[in-house]
């Protein structure tokens, strides 16, 4: 484990408990967002990682080493630090600001120059800016410098304390893209404190929701949207966002048709043909007696083998493509469309057949995703019914 | 000399005692500067210290304030009891009066440094000394300079009365003028360079102060 925090507690003198039994494991390259209302202890927790604050009890380990055994000054030089107020030194040029930590580490001058140039390129600012002072840059440009200052000495962990809180929405968005891109490209581990749920959902690979010093939930953005752990998390996400998020968190189980034409392998081909005829379909799924998916059989198989084979088990295809009912439609839709199947069986975790997804149902989903926002609710209800009708037709074909 | 008007008398005095006035000017200047430099050597570290230890702040500023309220002639006399007549007494007096503006400005300058910068500096791994050297002092330098400027202007005034304890300086010329019959020109001959010195130094230090202001 790259960064691990175990049973962290922080009590301020006077008895105010800021952090209570905080446990978190962070892998290298993760983008972790601490989110919570003010006073939830998110900043306090973050500041304990570079020992700006000392925990009352508990241990923090980086690469297995207990940080309380390390020299705080040396530790901090290895951890990038970006704060809300940007904190560029007004009396130093941008070049000096970027190479502040390298300078503390006593790098040679030419290496620092080279690094300053590389860093400013990283955030798409012209090289001339290196010799300017922070006051000559806009707020957004300043925070770009603030971000690369935290990267300049090859720090592996970057701590960011509401770095974009003071920026306007447009600048904030471009900086969010920037940090996400940098993080993915350079493989940095980022601990990002924010109170903005949108920001956390966009950036994080792991969200830590905190309230009054306690962890409420640790999960991926998807997981948080799908299963908020409690009412606090739900409120923090907001009803609007939960509704908006629905298309992207719909599972296959929610869109599949449950009425499936299935047959067991021991049945005769004659029976299979009769069943196809009755159900007006051209293929059947094959399951065992317990309902576990075994394969499929279609009308051509029966046609070619009617004379030589007798039971369904003799001619069925076992290489059946299926999806799990709890997988996200978003993740599976592309695979389904690419394979070009007319319909795909859906199984549960025990590999039991529970339903079927047709291409017509996928059309419905894609339609909803593209125009769902614009349509009135009634309209989308209408399309759903007509799409369902189309499903039936597709099945019968 | 009685047939000359005031300005003619003044020019006459400078023409005949030029080197004497220059010597006294020099002496006056050095007494003031020595006192202020000593005060800076003591006062700036005290100011830095109390900026970091806010509990001591009230006490130290309070003491410096009390020193400031003692009339300068009284102070001069009290110091004289200990150090006797001469230059040293004046330098010590100047030193004591310069402490307040220097300590106070250093303290204010240090405490006006944006806490976010200190947080950023510490968080990036600066030691206490590096933080002081690279952040706090450069950022409070202009306010500290303003304190030195105040102190120096004050010092020039105090040095002028140093003549009463036999320290010399331009005050000597002024006193000579007050003791002479119709000595107006002589008084001016001493007072004008004193005033000029104060004004010029104030302007020069003001210029330096602006130069070191990081926000400008």
Rounded-to-integer distance, Cα A92 and Cα A145, Å: 12
Contact A100 B124 (CB under 8 A): yes
Report d(CA B13, CA B123) in Å as an integer. 65
Question: Do A138 and A168 have their domain in common?
Answer: yes
Nearest to B123 among A74, A81, A84 (CB): A81
Q: Give the span between the Cα atoms of B166 and A303, in whole angstroms.
A: 131
User: Which structural domain, as residue segments, surrounds residue A392?
Assistant: 252-396
Quick check: A289 pLDDT over 90? no
Per-residue pLDDT reduced to its tens digit, A295-340: 888 888 888 877 777 788 888 888 888 888 877 776 676 667 677 7
A205 and A310 within one domain:
no
Task: State which of A186, A215, A247 marks the end of a domain.
Answer: A247
Give the CA angle between residues B172, B175, B180 to the nearest 5°. Answer: 125
Give the gap in angstroms from C-alpha A44 to the nearest C-alpha of chain B: 13
Name every chain A residue with its beta carbon within 8 A of the beta carbon of B123: 50, 52, 76, 81, 83, 159
Interchain pair A101, B125: CB under 8 A? yes
Determine the average pLDDT of the residues in A1-24.
Answer: 90
Question: Mind telling me how many Å the CA of B48 is from chain A's nearest CA?
Answer: 19
Number of structural domains in chain A: 2
- pLDDT at A382 > cutoff 80: no
Whole-model pTM? 0.70
pLDDT at A386 over 70: no
Which are the contacts of B102, defined by CB distance < 8 A and separation ≥ 6? B36, B39, B40, B43, B44, B47, B144, B147, B148, B151
Q: Mutate which of A50, A81, A88, A142 to test chain B, going by most B C-beta atoms within 10 A? A: A81
Chain B: give the shortest CA distance to residue A6, in Å. Answer: 22
The pLDDT tens digits for A180-190 are 988 988 889 99
Of A394, A262, A393, which is closest to residue A320 (Cα–Cα)? A262
Chain A residues inside the 8 Å CB shell of B214 = 90-91
CA distance B112 to chain A (A): 14
Percentage with pLDDT > 90 across chain A: 39
pLDDT tens digit string along A101-148? 999 999 999 999 999 999 999 888 999 999 999 999 998 899 999 999
Chain B partners within 8 Å of A158 (Cβ): none
| Residue A266 and residue A338 in one domain | yes
CATH code, domain carrying A192 = 3.40.50.300
CB < 8 Å from B in window 307-336 of A: none
- What is the CATH number for A366? 3.10.580.10
Q: Which two tokens stand for residue A65?
A: 């080493």
A104: chain B residues, CB-CB within 8 Å: 124-126, 130
Of A182, A212, A247, the residue at which a domain comes to its end is: A247
Could you tell me the domains of chain B?
A: 6-212 (1.10.3720.10)
A24 and A104 share a domain? yes
User: Are the Cβ atoms of B123 and A91 closer than 8 angstroms?
Assistant: no
Same domain, A308 and A177: no
A330 burial (CB, 10 Å; 0-12 / 13-18 / 19+) is middle
pLDDT tens-digit map of A330-349:
667 666 767 777 778 888 88
Q: Are residues A384 and A272 in the same domain?
A: yes
* Residue numbers in B near A85 (CB within 8 A): 114, 116
CA A265 – CA B22 distance, rounded (Å)? 121
The answer on A177 and A48 residing in a single domain is yes
Question: Are A207 and A311 within one domain?
Answer: no
- A263 and A236, same structural domain? no
pLDDT digits (tens, 9 = 90+) for B70-88: 999 999 999 999 999 989 9
Do A19 and A132 fall within a single domain? Answer: yes
**Cβ <8 Å between B122 and A101:** no
Q: Is residue A235 domain-shared with residue A278, that is, in the same domain?
A: no
A83: nearest CB among B116, B139, B214: B116
Nearest to B139 among A73, A86, A91 (CB): A91
Task: Looking at the structure, tell me whether residues A166 and A75 fall in a common domain.
Answer: yes
């Amino acid at each position: 484990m790259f960064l691990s925090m175990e049973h962290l507690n922080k009590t301020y003198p006077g008895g105010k408990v800021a952090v209570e039994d905080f446990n978190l494991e962070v892998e290298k390259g993760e983008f972790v967002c601490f989110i919570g209302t003010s006073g939830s202890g998110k900043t306090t927790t973050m500041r304990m990682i570079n020992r700006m604050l000392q925990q009352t009890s508990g241990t923090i380990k980086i690469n297995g080493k207990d940080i309380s055994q390390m020299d705080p000054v040396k530790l901090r030089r290895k951890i990038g630090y970006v704060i809300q107020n940007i904190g560029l030194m007004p009396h130093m040029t941008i070049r000096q600001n970027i190479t502040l930590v390298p300078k503390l580490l006593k790098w040679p001058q030419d290496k620092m120059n080279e690094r300053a140039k590389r860093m400013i390129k990283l955030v798409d600012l012209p090289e001339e800016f290196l010799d300017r002072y922070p006051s000559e840059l806009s707020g957004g440009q300043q925070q770009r410098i603030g971000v690369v200052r935290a990267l300049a000495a090859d720090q592996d962990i970057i701590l960011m304390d509401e770095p974009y809180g003071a920026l306007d929405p447009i600048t904030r968005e471009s900086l969010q893209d920037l940090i996400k891109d940098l993080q993915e490209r350079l493989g940095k581990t980022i601990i990002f404190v924010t109170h903005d749920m949108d920001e956390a959902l966009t950036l994080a690979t792991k969200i830590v929701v905190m309230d009054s010093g306690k962890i409420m939930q640790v999960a991926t953005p998807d997981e948080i949207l799908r299963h908020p752990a409690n009412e606090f998390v739900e409120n923090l996400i907001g009803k609007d966002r939960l509704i908006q998020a629905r298309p992207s968190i719909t599972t296959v189980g929610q869109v599949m048709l449950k009425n499936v034409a299935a047959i067991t392998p021991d049945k005769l081909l004659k029976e299979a043909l009769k069943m196809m005829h009755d159900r007006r379909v051209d293929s059947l799924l094959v399951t065992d007696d317990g309902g576990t998916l075994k394969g499929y059989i279609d009308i051509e198989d029966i046609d070619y083998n009617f004379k030589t084979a007798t039971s369904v088990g003799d001619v069925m295809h076992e290489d059946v493509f299926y999806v799990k009912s709890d997988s996200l439609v978003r993740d599976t839709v592309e695979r389904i469309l690419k394979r070009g199947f007319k319909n795909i069986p859906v199984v549960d975790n025990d590999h039991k057949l529970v339903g079927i997804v047709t291409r017509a149902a996928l059309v419905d989903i894609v339609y909803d995703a593209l125009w769902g926002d614009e349509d009135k609710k009634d309209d989308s209800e209408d399309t759903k019914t007509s799409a369902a009708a189309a499903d039936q037709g597709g099945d019968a074909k | 000399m009685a047939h000359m008007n005031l300005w003619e008398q003044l020019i006459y005095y400078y023409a005949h005692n030029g080197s004497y006035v220059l010597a006294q000017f020099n002496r006056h200047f050095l007494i003031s500067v020595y006192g202020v430099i000593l005060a800076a050597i003591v006062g700036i570290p005290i100011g830095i210290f109390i900026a970091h230890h806010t509990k001591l702040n009230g006490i130290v500023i309070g003491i410096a304030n009390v020193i400031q309220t003692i009339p300068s002639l009284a102070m001069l006399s009290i110091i004289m009891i200990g150090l006797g007549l001469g230059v040293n007494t004046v330098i010590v007096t100047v030193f004591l009066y310069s402490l307040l503006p220097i300590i106070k400005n250093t303290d204010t300058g240090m405490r006006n440094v944006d806490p976010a910068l200190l947080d950023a500096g510490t968080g990036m791994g600066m030691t206490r000394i590096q933080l002081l050297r690279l952040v706090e002092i450069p950022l409070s330098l202009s306010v500290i300079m303003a304190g030195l400027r105040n102190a120096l202007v004050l010092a020039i005034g105090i040095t002028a009365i140093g003549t009463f304890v036999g320290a010399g300086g331009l005050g000597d010329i002024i006193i000579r003028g007050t003791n002479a019959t119709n000595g107006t020109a002589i008084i001016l001959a001493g007072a004008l360079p004193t005033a000029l010195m104060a004004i010029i130094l104030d302007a020069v230090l003001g210029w330096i102060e602006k130069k070191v202001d990081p926000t400008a």
